[in-house]
Structure 1
Amino acid sequence: MGNRSSEDAVARLMAEMTLAEKIGQLNLLAAGEGLTTGAATDTPLAKRLDAGEVGAIFGTKSLASAQALQERALAGSRLKIPLFFAEDVIHGHRTVFPLPLALAASWDMALIEATAGFAAAEAAAEGLHQVYAPMIDVTRDARWGRMAESPGEDPHLAGAIAAAMTRGLQGTDPAAPGRVAACLKHFVAYGAPLSGRDYDNASLAWEDLLEIYLPPFADGVAAGAASVMAAFNAVNKLPMHAHGPLIEGWLRGRTGFDGLVVSDYTGIRELSAHGLGAPATVVLRALAAGIDMDMVGEDYLTHLPALAETGLKAPEAGLTLSAERVRALIDRACARVLGFKAGLGLLDDPWRGLTGSPAAPDRAEGRKLARKAAARSAVLLKNDGLLPLSPDTRLALIGPLADDRANMLGTWSVSGRAEDVTPLLEAVGALAAPPPSHAAGCNLVEDDWLIERLNVHGTTVTRDPRSEANMLAEAVAAAKAADVVLVALGEAKEHAGESSSRLCPDLPAPQRRLLDALATTGTPLVVAVFAGRALALGGIEQQCGALLYAWHGGIAGPEGVADLVFGRAEPSGRLPVTLPAAPGQTPLSHAEDPTGRPWTGRFAKFRTGWLDLADDSQPYPFGFGLSYTEVDYGPPRLSATEARPGERISLSVTLTNTGARPAIETVQLYLSDPEARITRPARRLVAFCQVELAPGEEREVTFEIGAEMAQYPLAPSLEAAEWVRDPGRILLHVGPNSRDTLSETLTWLA
């Protein structure tokens, strides 16, 4: 973000600032209730602003609130240094798009960039300068609730999404009208917690860190991301808020990142609970590691003034810093904060983005984009010719999410409003004649304690006072009177998200009983699953004629489902995560390492081998998804079967749409390295592309293969890591998903 003029502006300010003013710039606080322009409030936030002790604010809910806070901050700053304003804009702002995990299922980078661009324009119109997105934590454990916000299980797909979202949020300049600064999070391996427990630590091989969890951050930095947020977890015993080798070493040293690093909510204070020392000690550990701003905890504000005078000797923590060194670290962090503000244009114009111009984008256009995104994100897992339905089908719409608004928004939709959602009952009714009959059939969940927990951010789950027997009887009667039943099942919005780990990520028991009852009616079932994670669906496919994984699709999620059900849109979503057949199979991914005794014979698929899982109940593989047509893959062809490093080889495959409907096909290329210095994943995604095929159309798709695709890290430690490539054969697999591929062998010569 820096340039010569902004560097000069930062240098001039730094030369004039007092130590207290520099420390104040490192303080990142929550807006709370905000302030009113001209009000003489005596709140803690107002006092901080009056004393020039705040560098930025997050969580403002209106342009007027941001304006009032900026006015107060400028009045309290001797040098008139402005605030910047931030917010969680995870999958849209007021216009809520599908969950990040759902958008990942589109595999459509142009679409993802467009949704981020619209979100940026809405956020900027409310005076926001930075958003805490994209979240690019690769995750392979469905028990972890924040899978909902993730890009899924694959680093290559996650890296493409990191770049697309950064481009959408920032454009070519985050200071431009209608743009905001991206903040890559959570750095790093937050998506790899032990047992899927949120906030838990990650213990993993350095090779896995370098090849799975770090690459999406490198891709986001390469796309120009202006800021990064540290993760709550520890990586290999060192908490990320004190992980200098990864923040100052890898992030800044290896990728060249020169932007702002912020803590997560009280993340610096929590280092003491991690066992890293007393409050003053952990403050210096965080500052030395490269955490530039302290979110909410105010630990920098509390401890740095004294530490800058005395330094610190903490032999129990292996930390000794002179006062001079402490002041140098304060200067480093303050210069980064000011540089970030300069890059946003705020040092030139403190009111940049706070004047109400440009106005918010047209929400009607946003809704069209949200509806398209919902349809493109849903994944068709099964279809026995049942879909698409004719609009004159006698349809029964049954399930606890059939007439739901609030849960469709999904987790972390902080500025979304339930009244903006068109529920599935209305969306289907708008396209069907006659309109569908309706029955809830069951409660979403049955335990009172769980209902209370799911309503932690407002009531989204209520209990029907009728008995389960009565609700089931009503649903069965409606099903028997219909030609087809559309069953709306899944999770509440707060089933997924932060601090929402689940021991058994599957459909709640009342919904399973409802599905069992409906299956006995003999009426064909179309099941739509609205969820925030990879739920275990084993057995469901045997009870229905069509199965659609719809995720939490945002304000237009149900409308996107209706478009697919009636054939107004073509199914094109592909899974960004492996769906386990049973909860106990997680963690699970397409890129598992082979073992010395792989499963063979009837247990070959995904090496299941579970005694309590039928061998015909298999996971849905990464990259899987069906269309309303058939696309045939011809045999892959290599331009050469041998090559030397530096040469480029092409792999081509001919696709043919053999059906009567158009297709959007996501062609996926995987690589295996069967003879390496260390065990390599069974297959890795290395490239993909989407092509549109008209009925009967034939098209050739070509991928370019380079030796760098076969590189991998050897890492006895982070500092000693090196990337190597071996001569010899590699296997290239091309197909519509990670399982159903055709292969060719390419040999790299020494």
Structure 2
Amino acid sequence: MNTTQIEALIKQMTRMEKIGQMTQITTSFFNVDGAKATGTASRMKDVEQHKWIVGSVLGKLDAKSMLRIQRDYLQHNRLGIPLLFMTDVVHGYKTIFPVPLALSCSWNPDVLRRTARVSAVEAAAAGFQVTFSPMVDLVRDPRWGRVMESFGEDRLLLGQFGAAMVEGYQTDDLQQSDTLAACVKHFAGYGAAEGGKDYNTVDLSPLSLYNDYLPPYQQALQAGARLMMAAFNTLNGVPATANTWLLQHILREQWGFDGTLISDWGAVKELIPHGVAASSADAARLSLQAGIEIEMMTTAYIEALPELCEQHPELEQKLDEAVKHILQLKQELGLFDDPYRGVSEAREQEMILHPNHRHAAREAAVQSMVLLKNQQVLPLNSTQKLALIGPYADNRHLLGPWSVDGDPQHAVTVLEGLQQQGMQVQSLSTDDSHIEEEVLHQAIELIQQSDVILLALGEREEWSGEAGSRAHIGLPHDQLKLLRIAAAAGKPIVVVLFAGRPIELEEVARYADAILLAWFPGTEGGHAVADIVTGRCNPSGRLTMSFPYHSGQIPVHYNHLNTGRPAHLLTQEKRYKTQYLDVPNEALYPFGYGLGYSEFGYGNIDAGTGELSANCPLHVSISVTNHGPYAGCETVQVYIHDRVAEIARPVRELIAYEQIQLNPGETAQVDYTISADMLGYYHTDLQYRADPGEFELIIGPDSRHGSSVTIRLLSNET
């Protein structure tokens, strides 16, 4: 079906049929086993009489259900327009990968691309065609539970990893039956919710928006994403769902987005409690005018648009534009040619949890884990007797939030992973929040029989994710009590930490000899932990979000601005400078940080003349040597600081990175090409350019360490 045919089809549609295409409901309305009509779903009005004209559904599904629903729908739909099936495939469908924040710690776009590809293959086999992923909200507040869905605090990585996931979901041909259309979310600024509370207010200056928060969305769209989801939050006082400046001026006009715009769950009617709409009719009008084309899980459009269009005939054009985008999406997915996209129960059975998919999940989990501390305790050897103790010692709930279709019974526990690698291990599972005295006594007995204590600690899955905001992001008191008891035994302690966010780790770092951040590692998590602690794999993950000493430091991020009284320049001044009196300014573990079993040494930076211009980039190189006994991967990171600019610029800003694999004793030269564009930012006139002058160029293993040289931009004019 081409554009002319789509326009002809729209002319045949009644107003109510158009509004139906713009309405999304859950699969529970089609009697799918296990699908629940909860929350706003229970308040949906008049859906039953209109369900044969709605354009899309979301929620639980399998191949059998999809085939039945689509067949029944096409029999009832007057014009035979196929239904769209959408869901949240955030970090896997049935084969669950590490949470996105963990995946970003691989610093490897190919890892993100591969995980999205597997996710698409499995979800498409079950009948889905659209995923609400990737999330590219820049995050600096770990109290916000949804940091686990993001790729961290740096705009460069967010854009690259979001684009990689779009490419993995969609490939270069959405007509293929094993693809998903990607929906980028949440537009815009949702990661800056005040106080880290979900759905909360966002207030950002135009310069912060343009320089930090908007670029990742744009880069994901440039990768070809076919949908964009408006955020729940207000942005500078205007809810994103009704924000014409954001959805029309930025997204449509400036960026040229020609895909489909969808609301978040229930967000259209939430304009009423936001205080910008007095009724469903107001909410429908504001959302439609702003450009929301699919209303997810409220019925303001169905309730109000028929009468509104009678009163305001100009709204009919908005209906036609919205339906055109929706039908184009269905055409791009091949639904007019094959409404079932080759779905079959046999194909679903073959693809779900395929051994190759599990292997990919294991590799992704290994590359996502970050070794935060190691005082020559790891790797372990098979002669050592291990005491494996804690809430995650033999716990299958390793999938993490937003693994909506994953089954914990398919997950490999830490105990199983260690046993399968021949380790001598005795385990004791504990509660995560309240550990009985009797259990603590059992732990002491087990510790006395061991050579090494391995504590599997962390937060519950439901403590992070959507609506998982926490004011205190430390471990529960009883887990820290267990750690102190273990430390009293005087034996080596390895803490394996499971979490969906950065955690306060100052006390853990004080007592533990080694800390492995496993995040929520997914289906193959136990195998991946065992791969690393036994030395089968050399850890290579690097943090993409800073870990604070204390919640009171939040927000703490590497790319902050200097003040007029920066503490590091006023070392002789005790009080009147930018500082806390009780904790350091810096993060406990900074952005980009991570250890391995290798030791990498850096040579001097060779920056040639040190000068570049708009027409002549600068070639920079540095030598890196593996001084350790293990082959390993090093992520060589390049940062800049614009010393004098029109506006204050970050103390460091990531502009490039390169991963290299080196054998023991091997040296490699790492080369970078620095262009004027890489030094630029949005100025007060909201135009992107670089300031001529001096820049500090830093190359090192993380955002805190490295050597630096001065480079000079001679001109930014071509």
- TM-score tier after normalising by the smaller chain length: over 0.9
CA contact (8 A) 1:125 1:357 kept: no
- Relative to structure 1, is the Cα distance of residues 232 and 50 closer, same or farther in structure 2, using a 3 angstrom cutoff? closer
> Does the CA-based 8 Å contact 1:671-1:686 persist in structure 2?
yes
Native 8 Å contact 1:668 1:735 kept in 2: yes
What one-letter code is carried by the residue in structure 1 that aligns with 2:701? P
Question: Following the alignment from structure 2 to structure 1, what is the Cα–Cα distance between the partners of residues 495 and 506?
Answer: 13
Task: Supply the distance in 2 between the matched residues of 1:433 and 1:612 (Cα, whole angstroms).
Answer: 43
Determine the C-alpha separation between the residues in 1 that align with 2:578 and 2:58.
Answer: 46
The CA distance in 2 between the partners of 1:428 and 1:490, in whole Å, is 19
Correspondence for 2:529: 561
Question: 3-state SS of the aligned residue for 1:182?
Answer: strand
2:670 aligned residue (685, 697, 701)? 701
Residue 596 of structure 1 aligns with an amino acid whose one-letter code is G
> What pairs up with 1:325-474 in 2 under 5 angstroms?
325-356=314-345, 358-359=347-348, 360-361=350-351, 363-406=354-397, 408-434=398-424, 436-440=425-429, 442-446=430-434, 468-474=436-442
- Alignment partner, residue 6 of structure 1: 2
The counterpart of 2:604, out of the listed 630, 635, 659, is 635
SS of 2:595 mapped into structure 1: coil
| 2:687 corresponds to 1:690 | no
Distance in 1, matches of 2:422 and 2:427, equals 13
Query: CA separation of 1:325/1:46 partners in 2, compared to 1, >3 Å: closer, same or farther?
Result: closer
The 1-side partners of 2:521 and 2:340 are apart by 35
Q: How far off its partner does 1:49 sit?
A: 7.2
SS in 2 for 1:324: coil
Per the TM alignment, residue 676 of structure 1 is displaced from its structure 2 partner at its CA by 0.5
TM-score by length of 1: 0.90
AA paired with 1:501?
A: S
Contact 1:98 1:553 in 2 (8 A): yes
CA distance in 1, matches of 2:89, 2:614: 43
Give ranges in structure 2 of 5+ residues lacking alignment. 34-41
Whether the 8 Å CA contact 2:268–2:287 is kept in 1: the answer is yes
Confirm or deny that 1:646 pairs with 2:615. Answer: yes
Structure 2: distance between partners of 1:597 and 1:608: 6
Aligned residue runs from structure 1 range 616-627, under 5 A: 619-627=588-596
Moved more, 274-283 or 153-162: 274-283
Deviation at 1:575, TM superposition (A): 0.3
* Number of residue pairs the alignment of both structures matches: 699
1:49, 1:72 within 8 Å by CA — same for their partners in 2? no
**Backbone CA RMSD of aligned residues:** 2.0
Q: Indicate conservation of the 8 Å contact 2:556/2:587, yes or no.
A: no
- Residues of 2 paired with 1:665 and 1:603: CA distance? 38
* Contact in 2 for aligned 1:102/1:377 (Cα 8 Å): yes
CA distance in 1, matches of 2:473, 2:141: 10
Q: What's the secondary structure of 2:324's corresponding residue?
A: helix
Question: Tell me, what secondary structure is at the counterpart of 2:292?
Answer: coil
**Conservation of the 8 A alpha-carbon contact between 1:134 and 1:165:** yes
Is the Cα–Cα contact under 8 Å of residues 190 and 202 in structure 1 kept in the other structure? yes
- Write the deviation string for residues 553-581 of structure 1: whole angstroms up to 9, x where unpaired: 01111210111000011100000100111
Equivalent position of 1:131 in the other structure: 131
Q: Is residue 290 from structure 1 mapped to residue 260 from structure 2 by the alignment?
A: no
2:457 to 489, 514, 522: 489
Aligned-partner Cα distance in 1 for 2:529–2:299: 46
Kindly tell me: are residues 542 and 36 of structure 1, through their superposed partners in 2, closer, same or farther at Cα, counting changes over 3 Å? Answer: closer
Deviation track 1:52-90 (CA, whole Å, cap 9, x = no partner) reads 430001113211111222122212211100101011100
Give yes or no for contact 2:393–2:413 (8 Å, CA) kept in 1: yes
Separation of aligned partners in 1, 2:448 and 2:578 = 37
CA 1:472–1:33: 2 relative to 1, 3 Å = farther
SS state at 1:214 partner: helix
Asked if the contact 1:35–1:69 (Cα under 8 Å) also holds between the matched residues in 2, the reply is no
Corresponding residue of 2:36: none
Could you tell me how far apart the structure 1 residues matched to 2:611 and 2:164 are? 34
User: Which residue of the partner structure matches residue 145 of structure 1?
Assistant: 145
Is the aligned partner of 1:300 residue 2:296? Answer: no
2:201 maps to 1:231: no
Shift of 1:173: 1.5
> What do the CA deviations read for 1:320-372 (whole angstroms, capped 9, x no partner)?
xxx22111111111111111111111123222243457544362111111111
Asked if the contact 2:32/2:61 (under 8 Å) is kept, the reply is no
Instruction: Name the CA distance, whole Å, in 2 between partners of 1:106 and 1:51.
Output: 43
Between the aligned partners of 1:689 and 1:129, the Cα distance in structure 2 is 34
Distance 1:619 1:730 in 2: 27
Deviation sequence 1:563-609 (CA, Å, 0-9, x none): 100001110000010011112111111000110001133999xx984
Distance 2:367 2:328 in 1: 39
Deviations 1:129-148 (A, max 9, x none): 00111111110101000001
Q: Aligned-pair distance for 1:415?
A: 0.4
The answer on whether the counterparts of 1:51 and 1:77 sit within 8 Å (CA) in structure 2 is no
CA distance in 1, matches of 2:59, 2:619: 49
Partner of 1:745: 710
Matches within 5 A, 1:562-577: 562-577=530-545
Unpaired stretches in structure 1, ≥5 consecutive residues: 38-42, 311-322, 447-466
CA displacement, residues 5-55 of structure 1 (integer Å, 9 cap, x when unaligned): 531231121121111111111011111163379xxxxx9999647664300
User: What's the secondary structure of 1:218's corresponding residue?
Assistant: helix
Asked if the contact 1:234–1:240 (Cα under 8 Å) also holds between the matched residues in 2, the reply is: yes
Is the 8 Å Cα contact of residues 51 and 76 (structure 1) preserved in structure 2? no
2:25 aligned residue (24, 29, 44): 29
Q: Distance in 2 between matches of 1:737 and 1:433?
A: 33
Partner in structure 2 of residue 480 of structure 1: 448
Closer, same or farther in 2 for the Cα pair 1:259/1:30, shift >3 Å? same
Q: Secondary structure at the match of 1:519?
A: helix
C-alpha distance in structure 1 between counterparts of 2:64 and 2:46, whole Å: 16
**In structure 1, how many angstroms separate the alpha carbons of the residues matched to 2:117 and 2:2?**
25
One-letter code aligned to 1:367: R
Residue equivalent to 1:459: none
**Identity value in percent:** 38
How many angstroms apart in 1 are the aligned matches of 2:29 and 2:389? Answer: 41
What is the DSSP-based 3-state SS (H/G/I as helix, E as strand, rest coil) of the residue aligned with 2:191? Answer: coil
- 8 Å CA contact retained: 2:64, 2:345: no
Distance 2:268 2:50 in 1: 24
What residue number does 2:180 align with? Answer: 180
| Partners of 1:6 and 1:343 within 8 A in 2 | no
Tell me if the contact between 1:36 and 1:68 (Cα under 8 Å) persists in the aligned partners.
no
1-side partners of 2:595 and 2:423: how far apart?
27
- CA distance in structure 2 between the aligned counterparts of 1:603 and 1:410, rounded to whole angstroms: 46
Moved more, 92-101 or 680-689: 680-689
SS in 1 for 2:634: strand
CA distance in 2 between counterparts of 1:156 and 1:678 reads 20
Q: Is the 8 A contact 1:60 1:85 kept in 2?
A: no
The letter for the 2-side match of 1:26 is: M
Report the Cα distance in structure 2 between the residues aligned to 1:532 and 1:514, rounded to whole angstroms: 21
Corresponding residue number in structure 2 for 1:248: 248
